Structure 1
Amino acid sequence: MVWIKHLEPNDVDRAVAVAPPDAPAVIFQRTTGSLSQSATVTSSLDEMEAVAGQLFPAWLPGAEGITTSAGGALAAVRSLAIAHAAGTAQYGPFLVDLAVGALAGPGPHTRRHQPEVRALGLARVLAAGFGRPVCALLLRPPDNLDEGGTLALLRAAQWLVDHGRLAVWIGGGSLAPGDWLPEVVVARPIREAPVARSGPATRSSVRSGTPVEERSRRGPPTGRSRRVGRPGKPHPTSPTEVLLETALATRSWAAGRVWNHTVRPGPLVNPVRVDLLWKQERCVVEIDGDDHRAAGKYADDRNRDVMLQLNGFAVLRFTNTQVIHDIENVLALLQQFLANRRRARKGN
């Protein structure tokens, strides 16, 4: 358990850009400052379950394409969950409840199980869903916690470490001083500390199987932060990425693309994680949500764009709204740009 005392909103984004493939999947949660350790643990587990529901079916092999509870879907996911648990360390009844609940809608659906079972099972599911070896929680407490709230938070965090085998980071906030504080590591700012290379965090996301426009209106769940998908593929819980990839998959001119890829623009430049890339054409595509309008995020985006452009990459930015409501225009612009780049390359 680590207290990252000076954590700024963009620090996690910077850490994500240089996170190695074996870094943990980071789940961001805001805590309420409850005076009860049990209530804090339950709230954290419920939010973890909500994220797992968003990720379904990425963590259940064989369930790809099952997006509703209609027909024999529930029986199918029960069977798949039992079979998967039998070949892994997961507890079968818990995994069945989680899979069925992911199709049923908002939960929680696994509270009948002991908190220890939920913590360990959810940590494994979230790591698998993001294709990462482990999972970490980044807890953001409210400012100026009093002594009771601080003690409850620290006890809950230690419980999650012990029973979920999670790394737990407490980011920012102002913890009340007390005899327990020496047990908490007070780290340097994340941009300077080794923990800065731990990631990735996740994009605000929505559960599979709902219309794209409906999912877009819902906004980010409370337990999520910035996303990073599996290298080479669109993020399974980003409706915008999935929608665009579905359209690109039918276009022959879109060959050569790769999603969520890390590029190093130049020998003296830090690596950058981009949403979509055509390597040969040196074309970067970024898909921006509402968070990119914030002043700090906007400035970071412009700095990234300039750095990429100075090293020969073109950067095309589209908003979620453009992709969702005007995808044909987005496709036409991409096709035109790639065609121009390919003609220029052949001419050289």
Structure 2
Amino acid sequence: MSDWEQQILASADAPAIVVQRTAGSPSQQATVAAVLDEMEATAGQLFPAWLPGAEGITTSAGAAPVAVRRLAVAHAAATAQSGPFLADLAAAALTGSTTHTRRHQPEVRARGLARVLAASFNRPACALLLRPPDHLDEAATLALAQAAQWLVDHGRLTVWIDSDSPYGVDSRPRAVVPPPARPRREPRVRARRTPNVAGKPHPSSRAEVALETALARRTWAAGRAWNHTVRPGPLVNPVRVDLLWKRERCVVEIDGDDHRTPGKFTEDRNRDVMLQLNGYAVLRFTNTQVLDDIDNVLVLLQQFLASRRRTGKGL
């Protein structure tokens, strides 16, 4: 196998990670329905990233809903997905109505939404990180575990249930149930020649400064570099990235509102693919995620870095 092929495989198994808060219900069916509704809302926000050909359709006026339905049916036929569901999902994303998507069986919705969310980030699979409320009672805990297993079995999803303890990343589809609470311990980090941190976050970025403040207190974050230039390959122009773990070949980008524009979104995706093809993993977070829910960001970063270090990818 060539070095180029090995670099592709090194980044091919990282899933798109979607974080969701769960309300805690004593019913497995109600928990599954709530998770699917939230996944669908996320898919609507990401439209049209997951539907090729729909990039220029920005309004629901006129024949636009019919056009996206036709695009969805054609895309579903080419990718072995459910045409009726994908068509309803595309129309719902455009119009904001979910009346028709809920007529499909939960199994169809789960599998279709998993494919859509993975495709939005150019990933082969999707993983859910479910964050339940504190102190769930026995019935709600059981329902959540059953719902997670149902999503694994019927949606081909990886599902993590996050209480207050961090978990390692496992790329195989499975449900993880939180063990009894135990004291939080920082993982040991082997001595490295690289410094704990190089460079600085951009002083005008509140999100970068806040993330660095949080990372500075965590030993597992050693080896990071802010605002460094990366040359993905010998024939590729260097690019500047927000945050880099060079040894693990992990790039983290912190996106402001300007990254939602069509031009910037396309530029970001092209750059992500170029980095991934050269062995880098790219994780993207919005300013809002970092500033309003930094605990989630830290959990995901720690999980991902632990996986890269455990498997030796990027080293």
What is the TM-score of this pair, normalised by structure 2? 0.56
In 1: Cα distance, 2:81 partner to 2:275 partner: 32
Change (3 A) 1:105 1:239: farther
What's the C-alpha RMSD, in Å, of the aligned pairs? 4.4
Deviations 1:185-241 (A, max 9, x none): 759979759xxxxxxxxxxxxxxxxxxxxxxxxxxxxxxxxxx9xx99x99x97421
Match of 1:134 among 125, 131, 137: 125
Change (3 A) 1:238 1:133: farther
| Equivalence for 1:241 | 259
| Equivalence for 1:206 | none
**1:289 positional shift:** 3.9
Q: Gapped runs of 5+ residues in structure 2?
A: 1-9, 166-175, 189-242, 244-249, 299-315
* Equivalent position amino acid for 1:75 in 2: V
Residues 21, 132 of structure 1: 8 Å contact kept: yes
In 2: Cα distance, 1:159 partner to 1:295 partner: 29
Q: Gapped runs of 5+ residues in structure 1?
A: 1-18, 175-182, 194-227, 250-256, 264-270, 276-285, 300-348
Match of 2:67 among 73, 76, 82: 76
In 2: Cα distance, 1:112 partner to 1:258 partner: 38
In 1: Cα distance, 2:20 partner to 2:89 partner: 20
Are residue 164 (structure 1) and residue 155 (structure 2) matched? yes
| Equivalence for 2:146 | 155
Report the secondary structure of 2:130's partner residue.
strand
What is the TM-score of this pair, normalised by structure 1? 0.51
| Equivalence for 1:320 | none
| Equivalence for 1:105 | 96
**1:108 positional shift:** 6.0
* Equivalent position amino acid for 1:155 in 2: Q
In 2: Cα distance, 1:128 partner to 1:115 partner: 20
Match of 1:88 among 79, 103, 111: 79
**1:261 positional shift:** 8.8
Report the secondary structure of 1:138's partner residue.
strand
* Equivalent position amino acid for 2:53 in 1: G
**1:242 positional shift:** 3.5
Report the secondary structure of 1:150's partner residue.
helix
Residues 163, 178 of structure 2: 8 Å contact kept: no
Identity of aligned residues (%): 57
Q: What pairs with 1:192-231 in structure 2 (closer than 5 Å)?
A: 192=187
In 2: Cα distance, 1:135 partner to 1:190 partner: 28
Report the number of matched residues.
Answer: 211
* Equivalent position amino acid for 1:292 in 2: L
| Equivalence for 1:143 | 134
Change (3 A) 1:124 1:259: closer
